[in-house]
Chain A
Amino acid sequence: MFPFPLPEGMSRRHFLRHLAGSATLIGPSLTLAHSLRAQATQLGKTHRSCILLWMGGGPPTIDLWDMKPSVPTGGTFKPISTSGAGQINELLPLLAGQMQHLSVVRSMSTREADHQRGRYYMHTGFVPNPNVQHPSYGAVVAHELAAQTADLEIPPFVSIGGASEGPGFLGMGYAPFQVDSRGRVRNLEMGVEASRRMDRSELLGALEGRFVRENRGSAASEHAKVLEKTFSLMTSPQMEAFRVEREPETVREQYGDTNFGRGCLMARRLVETGTPFVEVNMGGWDLHQNCFTTLQTKLPEMDQAMSALVADLVQRDLWQDTVVLWMGEFGRTPRINGNAGRDHWARSWSVVMGGGDIQGGRIVGATNEDGTKVTTEPYSSEDLMATVCKSMGISLKTSFTSNSGRPMKIANGGKVIDELFG
């Protein structure tokens, strides 16, 4: 026996088994192809998933979801009607046909108009604080659904094509697993035979455990935890979920041969596999210049991928178990600057959400004539997060204990946006 006291939740047998087991013996592709759908129905019953479509840089929501065609600062595009309420940009015709499933919240009003602060705030519900690192959406959801996703061997929080925000005080075990939109995970294969893996893990386990026991702070045990998760992932047939290229060509075409398209398709595969939180990044929205010409290429890419995702999830009966949220760190100025661009603007902007028990086809809130002010009840990141938690079946009474021992309410005590329900 090896004296091998590892951190909580990490059994030695597990550690060794993962290292000894070989992915090649299991035949991942075969297993997954057969079990994906069966698993999906099974997993769908036990927990919901969330897909965050993250528009890095801050999209000009005034040009997308809350258009102001009658004012000079409203931009150059025309609005079109949709299958739900309200109108959206003419460059989003496919989404217009899916809007019965999605609702637009036009009354977002926040204060953080700096990228880093805005990214942090919209991902956590908290403004940056020097003394505590708050967990982001993905970490919160992964943590809350941990019991229901015990069989998941791949990380519960995946970030595709971008970086997301960290797990904060929940620890590196809930960190986003970052992959590119082709799902390439580097360094998965260990090049030695099983018996040597066993030997190696025995010594590594002893080293790891000894250093943890020496009581030097959490970094040592966090390392051991992530190591355990890494072993689990290396040998898991569930890794097949990242192989987006295994999808039939017709499906891939629907989503579009773009980074965001592949990312959305991978998100669907991950949700089917039981991943509770997937973030898909579409960057390049920091449109200080040439806003309108850039949108002419960006919007069709987004339109195709996002509409395909919604349609696919609906068609596969996953919609009622998957919450989809589209947002960036803020909106952009209702004014147009000297470079035909729009600058950062947090005071009045829009997000889009649907799935779970969120009602589609609705427009929530409104802004004034030129989009500079929210004229209805303003909503914050906290409210949005509370809404997502509610629709994921996560209790808003949940409270975390940050490592300073301070209790911290989930979603920072935000209130649910009631207009999206019932």
Chain B
Amino acid sequence: MLDRRFYLWWVFSPMAAASLLLAQGSSCAAEKADSPGAGNSKKAEIVEQLLEPVDLINQQIRLGWRAHDVRPSRQATRGEWCRRVYLDLLGRVPTTGELDVFLSSPANTISRAALVDRLLGSEYRDQYARNWRSIWTNILIGRTGGSTRRERTNRAGMMEYLQESLRANKPYDRIVYELLTATGSTSPTEKDFNGATNFLVDKLAEKGVQATTKTAQIFLGLAVGCTQCHNHPFNEARQNQFWELNAFFRQAQVEVTRDPDNNGRIVNAMLTDVDFAGEGRSREADRRDEIVLEMRAGRLVDRDAVSLGAAPVFYELRNGQVRVAYPVFVDGTSLAEMFSKEYPDRGVEFGNSSAVRDVHRRRELADLVVASNYLELALVNRMWAHFFGRGFTRPIHDMGPHHPPSHPELLAGLGVAIRKADFDLKQLQRWMVLSDPYALSSRFSRNNAKDDPALGGPPLFSRFYLRQMQAEQLYESLLVATQAQQTVSTEERGQLKQRWLQQFSTAFGTDDQSESNTFNGSIPQMLMMLNGDLVERACSIGNGSFLDQIATDTQQTNREKINHLYLAALARQPTRQEIQICNRLLQSRGGDVAQSLQDIWWAVLNSNEFILIH
């Protein structure tokens, strides 16, 4: 059954009945099909459409245009479409060769599908995994997480786990399960290494508040962080829900190994599950009017704790009252209830047991998370925001009745579809990039001026919203465009990239591990592009460099050389006026073609058209 919060969310949306049924239908569509209710025929209709998720996207997005009386922009050029597909799937621009292959194929949907299949297939498997590994690493541990040895998180370990999982296209629900239940060492050099531990290992301090917050935010699309201290002011979330979810993490324990010779730097962290003693002891104690907590040996303990039993978690209300919490999932499923049904002879408290051999709390949580509808909704919303520049809710990780989604039926429909497709991430990505709205131009049409997410209205996806490349995409694009670093080992490349990326990130140093990123169109970013080493290297005219090769290529005319640079960076030919300027540049360096090409290349790389995905 759907819990009340979830229900409310859909009630807020205009076509509540249909989408409610849809969202429910994922696990038991067959039984629900003949359940009574007005939404039945509507539902059957939509379920039918689910057979073709691409059509569902096209149809639902079109309905939105009609409802808001806008006309979509015209189609993007083939070059633009190709460029964005490479950027969004592989995290880089296409090479001139790759672009050539696509542009010389017939202009139809078959060619498009063929390209997408290639990019998602074995040929590009490693590149695909590398790109999505950085995306997921940034989501799971942030851009700064694990980059110093003062932290428990091992960034390399996290990336290694994700690289392998994404390379194998491991189902998303499996990945989530593994991240939530992982035990073992964080460091790839340890023999019981399990990279998945790196998601939780730095989030378990201070009672696992961050583990609770990030799990809900990333995997369930729910912002529960504020409810740590108080009931949410304008949605249904209550403080007890936070601590009940938090109780699932309390068996997790981290042992840290430090290097005494090296300033106590962390060498390894080991994540295990141990019996959780509980912060108090018995139900008896929980019914007391007052629970007295005392400091003993630096820990807060219940003074009147009497006997062993269930292991509760305590939290404090704003008025100072102390309350108790046991594991209950966000949809209201409590372990005590679940277990007492399953093991009636073990008593009602069995599900709250502290012992790992009785109740493995993280595994129970992971089971509940992967079975929950929130999982697919949060995933679809996240992926949609990746490919369309804007999610169905904003922010994507705070879904609920207070943020009704812009396209509830589509969100729910894609959710059902991806669960049916066993959480195959590549499938979901394929549906999105092969849809009609993804192929629209970023230029406004005469009839969609109001469809601008910057204006605050609901996104209609009647054009492709401009967005800036991420720092990772820029880095990879420049490497590809200039064929640089081909002699450097993969590992070394990764380190160089990581070092370069760090210049843009600042951690706020707060317990929520928040951070800011100056790769956001700010002056430091511009300075890096204009004068920084990355672009300087890309503009190198040293022997054998990209520009040198073009400059010394006797097969190409100057005009062709200019074309080559434009295609490599912008996936288009220069305009007549641009050719004129380029020709002047070619003359002004006294015939030094390499230097002229350097100036042209520098200008192209620094343009808005290059850095913006359009």
Contacts and interface: CB of A to CB of B under 8 A. Distances in A.
Q: Do A and B actually bind?
A: yes
Given A116-B512, A204-B603, A130 B522 contact: no
Contacts of B614: 216
Contact of B608 (A113, A220, A234): A220
A29 B443 CA distance: 46
A207 B522 contact: no
A203 B603 contact: yes
Contacts of A223: 521, 608, 611-612
A162 B528 CA distance: 19
A347 B230 CA distance: 12
B522 A175 contact: yes
Given A207-B603, A211-B607, A344 B299 contact: no
Given A216-B442, A230-B530, A200 B523 contact: no
A207 B465 contact: no
Contact of A155 (B230, B514, B521, B523): B523
Contacts of B393: 130
B352 to A, nearest CB: 22
Contact of A172 (B442, B457, B522, B577): B522
B531 A191 contact: yes
Contact of B444 (A163, A166, A216, A343): A216
Interface stretch (B94-102, B246-254, B354-362, B578-586): B578-586
Contact of A56 (B394, B510, B578, B595): B510
Interface in B265-309: 293, 295, 298-300
Contact of A130 (B403, B468, B518, B602): B403
Contacts of B229: 113, 343-344
Task: Kindly list the 4 A-B residue pairs having the minimum CB-CB distance in the complex, ordered from nearest.
Answer: A338-B300, A163-B516, A404-B456, A223-B608
Interface of A: 2-3, 56-58, 111, 113-117, 119, 130-132, 155, 162-163, 166, 169, 172, 175-178, 185-191, 195-196, 199-204, 206-208, 210-212, 214-220, 222-224, 226-227, 229-230, 233-234, 283-284, 286, 288-289, 335, 337-339, 343-344, 347, 402-406
Among B527, B589, B614, chain A packs the most CB atoms within 10 A around the CB of B527
B465 A217 contact: yes
B37 interface: no
A206 B578 contact: yes
Contacts of A335: 320
A219 B514 contact: no
Nearest to B526: A230
Contact of B512 (A115, A169, A191): A115
Given A57-B509, A216-B444, A188 B522 contact: no
Given A186-B532, A215-B444, A227 B456 contact: no
Given A178-B518, A190-B531, A288-B206, A216 B226 contact: no
Contacts of A113: 226, 229-230
Interface in B228-248: 229-230, 233
Contact of A220 (B466, B530, B536): B466
9 contacts: A113-B229, A131-B394, A177-B522, A187-B530, A189-B531, A190-B530, A226-B523, A227-B608, A404-B455
B443 A214 contact: yes
Interface of B, secondary structure class, is: mixed
B225 interface: yes
B439 to A, nearest CB: 15
A195 B523 contact: no
Contacts of A344: 229
Contacts of B603: 200-201, 203-204, 207
Contacts of B608: 207-208, 211-212, 219-220, 223-224, 227
Contacts of A56: 508-510
Contact of A284 (B452, B454, B509): B509
A57 B510 contact: yes
A339 B514 CA distance: 22
Among A113, A114, A155, chain B packs the most CB atoms within 10 A around the CB of A114
A216 B443 contact: yes
A255 to B, nearest CB: 21
Contact of B527 (A2, A169, A234): A234
Contacts of B456: 131-132, 402-404, 406
Contacts of A204: 602-603, 606-607
Contacts of B522: 172, 175-178, 226
A208 B514 CA distance: 34
Interface string B515-545: 0101011111011101110001000000000
A208 B608 CA distance: 6
A391 to B, nearest CB: 28
A199 B443 contact: no
B509 A3 contact: no
Nearest to B468: A219
Nearest to A58: B510
B454 A203 contact: no
B522 to A, nearest CB: 5
Contacts of B293: 338
B395 interface: yes
B532 A187 contact: yes
Given A155-B523, A188-B531, A223-B612, A115 B300 contact: no
B44 interface: no
A233 B523 contact: yes
Nearest to A111: B233
B336 interface: no
Contacts of B527: 185-188, 230, 234
Contacts of A111: 233
B575 interface: yes
B612 A219 contact: yes
A343 B511 CA distance: 10
B599 A207 contact: no
Interface in B597-611: 599-600, 602-604, 606-609, 611
B600 A203 contact: yes
B508 A163 contact: yes
Given A56-B510, A187-B530, A188-B531, A219 B588 contact: no
A343 to B, nearest CB: 7
Contacts of B532: 186-187
Nearest to A189: B531
A178 B300 CA distance: 41
Among B300, B444, B466, chain A packs the most CB atoms within 10 A around the CB of B466
B508 A203 contact: no
A189 B531 CA distance: 6
Contact of B454 (A187, A191, A403): A403
Contact of A199 (B398, B518, B599): B599
Interface string B395-426: 10010000100000000000000000000000
B467 interface: yes
B516 to A, nearest CB: 4
A207 B526 contact: no
Among B452, B512, B522, B604, chain A packs the most CB atoms within 10 A around the CB of B522
A57 B530 CA distance: 34
B233 A203 contact: no
A227 B394 contact: no
Nearest to B226: A114
Contacts of A130: 393-395, 398, 403
A180 to B, nearest CB: 9
A131 B299 CA distance: 44
Interface in B492-511: 503, 506, 508-511
Contact of B508 (A155, A162, A188, A234): A162
Among A113, A195, A224, A335, chain B packs the most CB atoms within 10 A around the CB of A113
A185 B516 CA distance: 17
